[in-house]
Every structure is written in structure tokens, then in C-alpha cells.
Structure 1
Amino acid sequence: MSHPEKTKKSRDQGNDYHIPNQYNLLMQAPVAIAVFRGRDYIIEMANDRMLELWDTTRAEVWNKPLFETNPELRTQGFDQLMQQVINDGKGIIIPEIPLTLKRKDGDVTIYLKLAYEPLREADNRITGILAMAHEITEQVAGRKKVEASEKRFRDMILQSPNAIAILTGKDLVVEIANSIMLERLFHKTAEEVSGQKLLDIFPELEGQRYPALLRQVFESGVRYRESESEIEILENGELKKYYLDLEYAPFTDSDNKITGVLVTAFDITQRVLDRRMLEESEQRSRLAIEATEMGTFDWDLKTQEFRYSDRMKGIFGGTPGRNFDHNDLVNLIHPDDLPIRNQSVQNCFVSGSLKYQVRLIWPDKSVHWVSVYGKIFYDHNHEPVKMYGTALDISRERNYQRALEESEEKFRSLANFIPTFVWTTDKNGRLTYFNHAITEFSGLSEEEIRHGGWFQLLHPEDRAVSIRRLEKAIQSGTDFQAELRFRNKSGEYRWQMGRSVALKNDDGEIQMWIGTSTDIHDQKMMAEELEKRVARRTAELKQANEELIRANQDLEQFAYVSSHDLQEPLRKILTFSDMVLKKINHDQQDVIIHLGKINTSAARMSVLITDLLNYSKVSKADDKYVSIDLNSVLDDIKNDFE
């Protein structure tokens, strides 16, 4: 713009305008001022500032309607504002309003701070409007730049892949927090945290060191960083532990005054937990390796550098103070086993893993077994760069294995010399071994027997029941025993006694089954013949017993009749003896005595006959024994001799 004096001359040149004295002060005002009169808003006065805004001269607008000289004002709503002032009789102030003006070089939009005041006459009638305008285009542009910058800054915060928040003031009020911060750490919505104090949102932080650190940054203006910071946040009613990489930076306004703290947090909880889990796994692996006495090695396939643990050196016969290189270790391998190692190394570059067992000849000439395992690691071009591996001294195991193999060979040799069938199966009943007696008996080849041929040797009547009993024994782990018929190579079925016992480990788990089968055909046939003979003899005895019973019954009947016939004369002797005894005189003592002896003898004879009859009964149910006074027996004998 031009200097006010120069502008005034240029805009009033060639004209003589009468400006009322009351407007002299307004004409010199540093802001744009104009006075409008009547319903058509006739321009009664406009100072140079206003004319500059309109980009016109006083001659072009003096005493003319406003909207005639500046028609663009009507389309932008200024007529409505001025009509509002006339109707309400109240002034209005608009802090910021855009105005588009038509200039010679095109339309220009400016921003104004605008004030309208009604002009009243002595009778209080409103006859005009005093308009004051102050151009604030530069301020608005500057503010919009700041707002745009702040918006870009906020958008950057909101769109950042890291958790970011701005806390303002000493109370650490949450001004903004992006979605990452809200979802992953705050676990709240923007509405729940915006404008709230940090400790009101997370009271569990009270007593933790983070609020103090934030205030320290706010007061000192010194940035603070911390890696793997451990923080506890209440989540679903429980304190949950997080690990964060934190950065607290002072946040300043346009005057470089600290207004808050910019918080940036990288949630590395899962990474820390994974690393710690890996560290724990590595620790467990080291403990496991130490517990199993394994040696470890690291072979750089690019530089051929070979590093190994002390245990690895010990496995290869090394002593403290003496170091080996890779070639020294290879040279300790038994010459006969060296091709095994070389072939395995060659194959590992195809398969990615190394595995072999060889003998070592220690410097003291003793022989030891070692098992080596390795894994190749590749770079991004899939080129082999490293091999990590372990070595284990398996001398004891190989010695045990050799002893076991020798024992098994002895068992097989012994089993092949006995006529009894011998076999072994795995824990599921699959055949793993059988002796020569089975092939010699059946006439089948070993291959035929291994593929189920033994099942065809069973008698058809024995197959189903034997399979059921065998499956039950395998499931329950109980011993199996059964008499079965097997067909020999001549087509004859012979009876066998089959037995199978489960071998279990210390935990009671079945490892294998051992079985035998003994030929019991001759015993079986002899037993059947004996049973037939016993049956015949039993029938003969039964018949003889029946005949004996009949004979005894006849004898009892005869004894009964004989007893009756023998008892009858004795009764008559007793009867007549009693009659004679009653008729003789008492002075005939000799006769009385003899008659008494007759009666006594007859009575004893009657008892004797009864006893003989009872004794002769073969079918008597039981015998009854009574006590006898031997004195009375002796008296009877004595009387018989008198």
C-alpha cells in the first residue's frame, strides 16, 4: 500500500469534496472506515484505508450506493449483515470474515475484522451505519499455516506406526494419542483419555517412576530415552507387564515455551518375551548338553575356522593345554571309518544336516566311539556359511550294543537247536523273529511266515478264538497260553502248547513279546486214550457196583429171614424156661440156678443174632458206637465157665 498522504492525493486528485468536520478524525484513522446512509447505503464517507480495500477512488464511490459500486459485497452476505444492524439497532463485530473483491488484475480474497455500528439521529432514528474494517489477511494466512503445520504434525502422530501421545502441563493432561497408543498400551478410546490427567486414567502408575520422569522432562527440557523399560498397566482388572522403548521429548509452542511432553513408545513386549524365551531355551540347551556330556562345535564354512568346546576336545582324546585344529580331529578317526565321515560330510551339503558314528583312535591308542551331528546354516543367497553341531561319546552304548548283539546271537543259535518253536514280536504283535524249528515243521519259507503264513498253519476251528485271545493279551499285557493245532509240512495237524509273555520296562510299558510252542500231540493223544479207558472202566465199575448192591439186598433179605428163624427157637426156650421156673419149688436151688443160666445164655444168643444181622447189612447208613463196661463182659464170660 502507499503512504497515506500519497494515497489521499491520488484518490482525491481533480475533485473537491466537502467532508463534514465530524468525520475529520475518522478520515485519519489507521483502520478502514466508511459511513453509509439510507436504505441504499449511500457512501457518505470513506477514508483512504477503505478506498484502498475497495481499490477505487473517492470519485468513483462518493454519494453512491454501496452495492452499486461494490456489487460483489451483496453476493457475499454483507447486505444481510447490514440489514440486521438496521433491524436490531445493535452493532455487530465479526472477528474474521473473508471478502472477495474484483480487481483489475482479477478477483482477490482478503480477510477482515469487521464492525458495524448503527448511526442514530437526535430522535433515536437509525439513518445509517458506521463500518470499520481491519485487514487481517496476513495474520489469517500465518494462522492457517500454523494450523496446517499443526494438522500435518497431528496427522503424522495419528498415522505413525509407533505409539505416540502428547501430554500437556505439569498435570500431564492427554492432548492427543494416536490409535497405536490407544489400542496397544492405553486400551481405551480417544474420548476416554482426551483432556484427562494421565494419573486419573492410569492410577496404577502412581508410585512408579514414569510420572516423575515425565515431569522432569517438562521442567528441564532435556530429552529422556530408555530401552526395554518395564511398565505395569491395569488391563481387565489385572496388572499386565509391558516392555517399551521409551522417548520423552519436550514439546514447545511457537514462542519456544515448553507446554508439554511428546511421548514415543515402541511396544517390544513380544520381542523381549521371545528373546527371554530364546535365552531360557539356550540355557536349557546348554544345561541339557552339559548333562548329556555332549561336546559342541562351530565350523565356519567360508573361512574353515573350527571352534569347539572343552568337552568336544575331551571326547577326541585331547588333554588340557593341547589344542586341536580341524584336521587333527579328522586324523583321529579310525582309517576304516574315515570313508563314512567323508561321505556324510559330502551328503550334508545336499541335505543340510550331518550325521555319522565312527571310531576314534586316541593318542594313547585306545579306541572310542563317537556320534557326530551337525546342522548347516545358509545366508540370504542360500550359500552355506556355518555349521553348528554336537559330538557324543557313545563308547559305552556301543559296547552294550555289541554285548547285546552277542547275547542275541547266542539266543538265536540256542533257539535254532531246540525242537520247540520260539518266536518274538514287537509290542503290537508283529513277528520279529522265529527259529528254524518253525520252518522245518511247516515247510514254509521265512518270507512266507513273516507275511502271515503262520496264520494259515492254524486249524480252521482254532483261528478265530486264538486271534481273539491273542489280541486281548496284547491289549491287557497279560500272558497268553492256549492249546492249538498246527499243520505240518505233511498236512497233519498236531497239537501245540503255545505260551507268550510280555517283556516290560521299568515303567510297565510293553517292549516286546517272547513266545514258545511245544509239541504236545502225543501227550494229548495219550490223555485222550486214557480218558477213554477211564470212561470204560468207570462204566464197568458202575455195573459191578449195581450188581453188588443187588447181591447185598438179597443177602440182607436172607439174613433177616435167617434171624427170624433163629430167634424163634430162642424165644420158645426162654418162654418154657420161665414156665418151669415158676412151677418148681424154691428149695430146688440147683434147678433154679441152671434154669437161670439157660435164660441168660438164650438172651445172649438173641443179642448175638441181632448183632450179626446188623453187621451183615452192607447198605447200612452209619455205625453207632457205645461205651462197654469190660467188667460186665468178663462177668459174662466167667458165668459161662461155671
Structure 2
Amino acid sequence: MADQSAAFPIGGGEMGQLIREKDWGETILGPIDSWQQSLKTTINILLASKFPKFLWWGSELTCFYNDAYRPSLGDQGKHPNILGKGGEESWPEIWHIIKPLMDQVLEHEESLFFENLLVPIYRNGHIEDVYWTFSYSPVRDDSTQIAGVLVTCVETTSEVLLKRKLEDSERKLRLIIQQAPASIATFKGSDYITDIANANALSLWGKTADEVMNKPILEAMPELKDQGIKELLDDVYNTGKRFAASEMPVQLIRDGILKTLYINFSYEALYDTSSKIDGIITIGHDVTEQVLAHKKIEANEEKLTMVIDASELGTYDYNFKTNSLDSSKRLQDIFGLEGNQLRQKDFLSKIHPKDMELRKKAFENAFSGDGNLHYTCRILHSSSRIKWIEVKGRVHLDEQNKPHKVLGTVRDITEDRINRQKLEDSEQKFRLLANSLPQHIWTADPQGKLNYFNQSVYEFSGFTPGQLDQEGWLAIVHPDDREENLKAWNNSIQSGKDFLFEHRFRKYDGSYRWQLSRARPQLNQDGDIQMWVGSSTDIHDQKEFTNELERLVVERTNELAQKVKDLASMNKELQSFAYISSHDLQEPLRKIQTFSTLLLEHEFDNLTEDGKEYFKRMQNAAKRMQALISDLLAYSRTSISERKYESTDLNKLVQEVKTDLREELTQYNAVIESDKLCTLNIIPFQFRQLLQNLISNSLKFSTKERQPHIAIASEKRLGEEFEIARLSPSTTYCHIRISDNGIGFDQKYHERIFELFQRLHGKDVFQGTGIGLAIVKKIVENHHGFITAKGEPNQGATFDIYLPENKSSS
């Protein structure tokens, strides 16, 4: 056994030597000779490994480790004291961390793996934060029971700290990029996926971070594809050559609209650790405002040249020191001069002698003042006529604050002077005419500021011109009218439409009179408002008359409202009457009929012949009274019933009436013939009553000489196609014709037959109440239509009904 112990452990470097030299008899494991073979085998494997390994063994989790693990313990720390000691004694600072992990291995036979896990340990004289990548594996003893934990590990502290340093560096770089005043972005790979984009870049692109980050920039901004941007990126990515451009126009989508921006930008290649291009960085500045400003300046300069040419201004540049004059061709034309070597005295000779002093004072004021030169004078043109010119300029001083040169323009204002004189003459005539009128006349500038009042205004108001200028024109307007007056006037000024307003003006005695004010804009040849000319006319008497008329209208309206109220009350009474008629009035009739019938049945033999006749006449009278009440109720319902219109097929309605009148039609052996009828928007139950009354009327007035025949037809046409004056020409009507072959009537009664209680025949000849046709007419009127009747004795009757297709068009 001694020889075997001497051979254990095999090699193992420093740790192998320490194991061999240690007195294990004083440890919980006891002498090496008593160790299980599995422990010795595991330690030999551990010591032979060049990879850091650590072993916990036995109930106290005794510590073993190899030379590769030794550097992780540092100096002035646990090495070599923890060799052979229990785990809790050796690693008190992290025992609460690692003991639960080892329990998982020992109790559940589970291997564990951790990467870059922070496990602080005591080394180099203090506790250090140490990061490990390690695995815990179960180790079995000779009886195959788990007796320990083998740790295979590597310290990754330097890698973790380096990674953190790189991340911190990248974070700082990103922060610098984000805070940079320029637009900066980086694209990764050949697809140019956006990796970084600061706020300025997103603002320049008109995008949010979600729209571009981690996406190919040419997909996030497809408008760039057709602008050569991909080719520029490809060239930088493939060659590494830098690309830069100044004021390059680029079209970008902003708020859904493609806009052109001008950008100074550059593309530079990004390299990885192997010096291979793996991306591109772009730096840009939006110079759109500067470019547009340059363009605007250039355009303004071009416009200025065009304006000078178009305005026919002559320009000059005179140098006081050299006495040299640079004049434009237009200036020479104004003065009537020719030649290339014209001097100042050539131009001065043309100035009217009486205006030379005026010119001199203008120059003196420019020298002593702000340097602006301005005067008008006359010149003697070569055409032997006097012309007027306006001279403007700017005097420039040298270093000694003395006049150096003067630059300016000269304009021929001869025509303006003539036109101004004509305008002054015209204005004088206008003022004379305005002051002679009794109406108030006034004018205003294009902005609506009143600048002239005729004499009538001052005489009416009692103001002097100075007082009215100081008080303002609203001072003569009634306080209650001022706000609306000002609002109406401002609306006219803004819209350019005529001003028309009624308001009250204060008279010099404090009273107010109504005025109708009108104003119309005066336009120039271009359609622009040059001025407003207005007038105010006294309408006080007309206004008083109108107010009185309005009072009378209100009074009549109130009376009409009362009439409507009375009518509603009468309508309510009519409804009450209808109720009484349908209940209270008919009840006595029913009793009369009932008792008379009982008397005839039980006392018939006891009655005289006259008594029997009287009872029959009484029953007939009661029946006629009941029919009259029923017809009156039907007539009243056509006025007071709810009018609910429905689209109705008249063919269907005729069939329903035939069914209702089946017994009468059979009794008279009558024939009803109808074409394909219209479909109309009508009140169905009323129109059914109309058809029933007309058909019943035809049956009642049929003749025994021939079989009753009733024809119903309809057609739709415009009102202008019917020869009836009452119809609207542009309205479509449905014409319904109902004709029969009965006894007819004399045409002179064509209107009378529709009146209440009117009968053309005695009640002994034809029964009825004289209400049926009145009900028909009322129903037609409810439908906004017209009805006419034609007849000929013994030849039948025809009823023509005209109903508007759309009741709202009546």
C-alpha cells in the first residue's frame, strides 16, 4: 500500500506535489491509503487536465483543484490553505450562492452549466468580483453513489469586463452620435440595414425610429431607389472610396408628399476587426433653406433687372472724385442725348434753369442727412418740350466720410404728372357735385378707411371736418347699430362685394334718423379695388311706415293664430260630434228599430192597416236616419282621420272592393272591367272608400233596360298634356277614369252632385243620403287632386280623377 500511495497522485505539477506532501491523516478524509479508488481516479484525471477543474468530495465537500485552476485563486488568498478543507470553511463568502447549486447535483443527480456568472471570491487580499463560465457534474464513489461534484470552469472576468467596456464605448459613441448637431446614421451589410440613426437624421428623413431601424434603408425609404442613391452606396461599400456632395437635391416623402431637399452629405466605409468593409456611415446637413435663399436672391436679382427694364428706369453711377458718369441707355433716352462719352455737364445742361436750385438743395440734404437723394424737376428735351423726371439715389461716403459716389435711378414722370393733374381736376369736379347733393356722399380707401365726406354730412351732424376726423365716422352712428355696421363694412372690404346697410345717424340736435347706406368698389383695369364710393339716403319716413306695417302684420298674425286655435277647438268639437253620432245618436235609432220590429212581430194582427203602414214608414225613416248618420261619419272621417300615405297598387285595391261588394254585384248582375292600373302613393282605406262609393253609386243608378257595366282605366302623364287649367304643367298625374252605362245625369248638374245632401232624384225613386259623392270629392282633395263628372241622361256617367304622382309636388 505504501508503494501505491507513493505513486499517487501521478504527476499533477504543483498541486500534485502539494497533495503528496499534505498530511491527510489529520483531515476528514483520512490517510490516502484509505481513500476510495474512485476518488483517486477522479483526482488523477483532474490533475492531468490543462483546463481549470475543481472537485468537492465527501460529506464536508473537501476541496481539490489542479494547476490550471490555481491562477484564479490569486495571491494572498485561499491557496494553498483550502486544499483538503471543507467547502463551507473554504468559501464562506460565496457559500450561500454555490451550496444550493451543489445540492441540485448531489440530490437530483443533475448537471448544471452557467456562463459568465458573477461569483465574488476572496483573493489578492480582498473580495473581488469574478465572472465564471462553469459546469457542475456529479462524481460517484466505488459503490456508484454520488459522492462529490466536479467543477469544470474558466474565469471570464477579463472577457466580461472587456465586453462591458466595448458596450460602454459603443453606448458613448451612440450617445455622441445622437447628440451630434449633424445628421448621422450607420448602415450594416450590403443591404444597408439601418443600425444607428440620430434624431437629426430621422428629422431629415421625415421618419420615426420604428420606420427605419433594423430595416434596409432603401426599403424604408423607397423613394431613394430611383435617385441613384443605391449606386452611390454600392460604390462606397465595394471600393471603400469616400463620397461627398454639396447642395445635392434629394426627393424625400414628407407628410405623404414628395419634397425636394438640398443636402450636404458624405458616405464613408466602416471596417470590422479584420479590416473588411461591413457597413457605411453617412453624415449630412440639410441646407435647403440656404439653397432656396441663394436661389431667391438670384431670382430677385433677375427680377430686379427685369423690373428696371420693364419700368423704363434710367440708371446712373457718378463718381465725385473722378468726375466720371456711367449712364444707362434708358437714361440717355429720357434726356434726349446720344453718344458713348456723355459727361455730367451734358445732363445738367438739360435741367430746367428754374429747378437747378432745387437739385442743389436735394444734394445738400443727402450729404448732411442719411445719404438718400430724392427730387423731381423739369428737363428741356431735345424735342423742344418740357418733361418731368423723378431722381432717386444713394450717396456713398469714403473712409474720410466724404461723398465718394452716388448711385440711383431716373424715371420719366411726365405722363404721371399729366394724369395727376387730370385726376385733381376730376376730383375737384366730384367734390363740387357731391357738395351740391342733399344725400350724404363719402369715399374710402381700398382698406376701408373713410377719407372724404361731402358738405351734407357736416351740415347734418354738426361736426367740423377736424372734429369728424378726430371722433371717427362711427361717432354719428347710433350706438346700437355700430357693431353690426362695422361687421357689415368689414365683410364688404374683405369680400369686395357691395355694401348695403340700414342704420341710424345722429343729427346735430341729438335726434336720430334712419339712413340707407350703399357703397360700391371702384376697380382699376386689373380688377383691383382703387377706392370705395358710398352714399347715405334718408329713409326715416319709409322706415316709420314699414315699422307700422310690420306692427299691423304682427297684429293680423296674432289674430290668425287665434283663428287657428279656434279652428282646432272646432275640430275637437267635430270629433266629439262624430263620437256622439257613432254612439249616442245611433243608440235611440237602434231601439226604435228593435221595438218597432217587436211590435210588428207580436202585435201585427192587432194593428189597423194604417198602423201597419205607419210602423213601416217609421222603420224606413229610422233606416234612412241611420244611413245618414253613417254617411256623415264617413264624411267627417275623411277630414279628421290620420293621413298615412302608402305605395298602393290600384289593381289590388279594385279586387278588394269587388270582394267587399260581391253581393251587390251579384244582385245587379253587374260587370266591372279594369285595365292595368297605376301604383300610387295614397291613403289606402280612404281610396278604398272612394272606389266603393263610386261603384255603389253606379249600381244604384243603373237601369233595368241593360246589364250594368262599369269600366275603370288609368294613365300617367304630365299636367301640361291634359286640357285642364287647374293642373300643374310640370307635375306628373295619374288620371283615373270610372264610367258606367246607368241613367246618367244632365251635365248642368256636374258640380252640384258633389255637394252635401244634394240629390237629383227623389228618395222614393233612388235611396241615398246625398253624401256619397261629397265623400268622394273630399278624399280626392285629401290626396291633393281634382275630380270632374260628365253625364248624359240615360247614357251613363263618367268620373275623371287626377292625382299627383308625388303628393309633395301638389
For residue 337 of structure 1, the aligned residue among 346, 358, 375 is 358
Query: Quick one: distance in 1 between partners of 2:156 and 2:319?
Result: 73
Instruction: Map Cα deviations across residues 518-572 of structure 1 (whole Å, 9 max, x no partner).
Output: xxxxxxxxxxxxxxxxxxxxxxxxxxxxxxxxxxxxxxxxxxxxxxxxxxxxxxx
For residue 310 of structure 1, the aligned residue among 324, 328, 353 is 328
Change (3 A) 1:40 1:190: farther
For residue 239 of structure 1, the aligned residue among 229, 247, 258 is 258
Task: Say whether 1:62 aligns with 2:83.
Answer: yes
Change (3 A) 1:433 1:61: closer
> In the alignment, which residue of structure 1 is the partner of 2:390?
371
Instruction: Map Cα deviations across residues 220-273 of structure 1 (whole Å, 9 max, x no partner).
Output: 111111122223334555433333222111122233221111122323334433
CA contact (8 A) 1:31 1:132 kept: yes
Change (3 A) 1:11 1:369: farther
> In the alignment, which residue of structure 2 is the partner of 1:83?
103
TM-score by length of 2: 0.44
> In the alignment, which residue of structure 2 is the partner of 1:254?
273
> In the alignment, which residue of structure 2 is the partner of 1:495?
none
> In the alignment, which residue of structure 2 is the partner of 1:391?
409
How far did residue 386 of structure 1 move?
12
For residue 304 of structure 2, the aligned residue among 274, 281, 285 is 285
> In the alignment, which residue of structure 1 is the partner of 2:797?
none
CA contact (8 A) 1:357 1:372 kept: yes
Query: Quick one: distance in 1 between partners of 2:498 and 2:253?
Result: 54
Change (3 A) 1:27 1:450: closer
Find the residue that maps to 1:214 and give its secondary structure.
Answer: helix
Task: Say whether 1:73 aligns with 2:91.
Answer: no
Query: Quick one: distance in 2 between partners of 1:331 and 1:40?
Result: 127
Query: Quick one: distance in 2 between partners of 1:16 and 1:385?
Result: 114
Query: Quick one: distance in 2 between partners of 1:324 and 1:403?
Result: 34
> In the alignment, which residue of structure 1 is the partner of 2:236?
217
Change (3 A) 1:110 1:292: same
> In the alignment, which residue of structure 1 is the partner of 2:617?
none
Q: Which one scores higher on RCO, CA 8 angstroms, separation ≥ 6?
A: 1
For residue 146 of structure 1, the aligned residue among 166, 171, 183 is 166
Structure 1 gap segments, 5+ residues each: 435-443, 454-474, 478-501, 514-642
Find the residue that maps to 1:72 and give its secondary structure.
Answer: coil
CA contact (8 A) 2:15 2:65 kept: no
Change (3 A) 1:5 1:430: closer
Query: Quick one: distance in 2 between partners of 1:318 and 1:400?
Result: 23
Query: Quick one: distance in 2 between partners of 1:231 and 1:107?
Result: 60
Find the residue that maps to 2:120 and give its secondary structure.
Answer: strand
> In the alignment, which residue of structure 1 is the partner of 2:132?
112
Change (3 A) 1:229 1:137: same
Instruction: Map Cα deviations across residues 163-183 of structure 1 (whole Å, 9 max, x no partner).
Output: 322221111222222233334
CA contact (8 A) 2:388 2:417 kept: no
Find the residue that maps to 2:55 and give its secondary structure.
Answer: strand
How far did residue 108 of structure 1 move?
2.6
Task: Say whether 1:192 aligns with 2:195.
Answer: no
CA contact (8 A) 1:294 1:390 kept: no
Change (3 A) 1:347 1:116: farther
Which letter maps to 1:191? Answer: D
Change (3 A) 1:95 1:311: farther
CA contact (8 A) 1:426 1:511 kept: no
> In the alignment, which residue of structure 2 is the partner of 1:121?
141
> In the alignment, which residue of structure 1 is the partner of 2:777?
none
> In the alignment, which residue of structure 1 is the partner of 2:504?
none
For the pair shown, the structure with the greater C-alpha radius of gyration is 1
Query: Quick one: distance in 1 between partners of 2:267 and 2:229?
Result: 10
Which letter maps to 1:137? Answer: T
Find the residue that maps to 1:206 and give its secondary structure.
Answer: helix
- Write the mapping of 1:533-572 to structure 2, written as runs, cut at 5 A: none
Q: Percent identity?
A: 22
Query: Quick one: distance in 1 between partners of 2:338 and 2:151?
Result: 106
Structure 2 gap segments, 5+ residues each: 1-10, 25-31, 33-38, 445-449, 469-496, 500-520, 534-810
> In the alignment, which residue of structure 1 is the partner of 2:199?
179
Change (3 A) 1:83 1:395: same
CA contact (8 A) 2:118 2:130 kept: yes
Which letter maps to 2:411? Answer: D
> In the alignment, which residue of structure 2 is the partner of 1:272?
291
Which letter maps to 1:227? Answer: S
Find the residue that maps to 1:256 and give its secondary structure.
Answer: coil
Query: Quick one: distance in 1 between partners of 2:294 and 2:165?
Result: 46
Which letter maps to 2:247? Answer: E
Query: Quick one: distance in 2 between partners of 1:252 and 1:85?
Result: 46
CA contact (8 A) 1:199 1:205 kept: yes
Query: Quick one: distance in 2 between partners of 1:427 and 1:190?
Result: 61
Change (3 A) 1:214 1:421: closer
Task: Say whether 1:159 aligns with 2:159.
Answer: no
TM-score by length of 1: 0.54
For residue 101 of structure 1, the aligned residue among 121, 125, 131 is 121
CA contact (8 A) 1:51 1:57 kept: no
How far did residue 369 of structure 1 move?
5.0
Find the residue that maps to 1:337 and give its secondary structure.
Answer: helix
Query: Quick one: distance in 1 between partners of 2:389 and 2:465?
Result: 35
Instruction: Map Cα deviations across residues 117-175 of structure 1 (whole Å, 9 max, x no partner).
Output: 22123554322111133223332333222222211221222223333222211112222
Query: Quick one: distance in 1 between partners of 2:340 and 2:18?
Result: 107
Query: Quick one: distance in 2 between partners of 1:503 and 1:25?
Result: 113
How far did residue 365 of structure 1 move?
12
Change (3 A) 1:339 1:104: same
CA contact (8 A) 2:117 2:133 kept: yes
Which letter maps to 2:173? Answer: F
Instruction: Map Cα deviations across residues 466-493 of structure 1 (whole Å, 9 max, x no partner).
Output: xxxxxxxxx999xxxxxxxxxxxxxxxx
Which letter maps to 1:163? Answer: S
- Write the mapping of 1:226-625 to structure 2, written as runs, cut at 5 A: 226-235=245-254, 237-295=256-314, 310=328, 314=332, 321-322=340-341, 335-346=356-367, 349=370, 354-358=373-377, 369-373=388-392, 390-394=408-412, 396-397=414-415, 400=418, 427=443
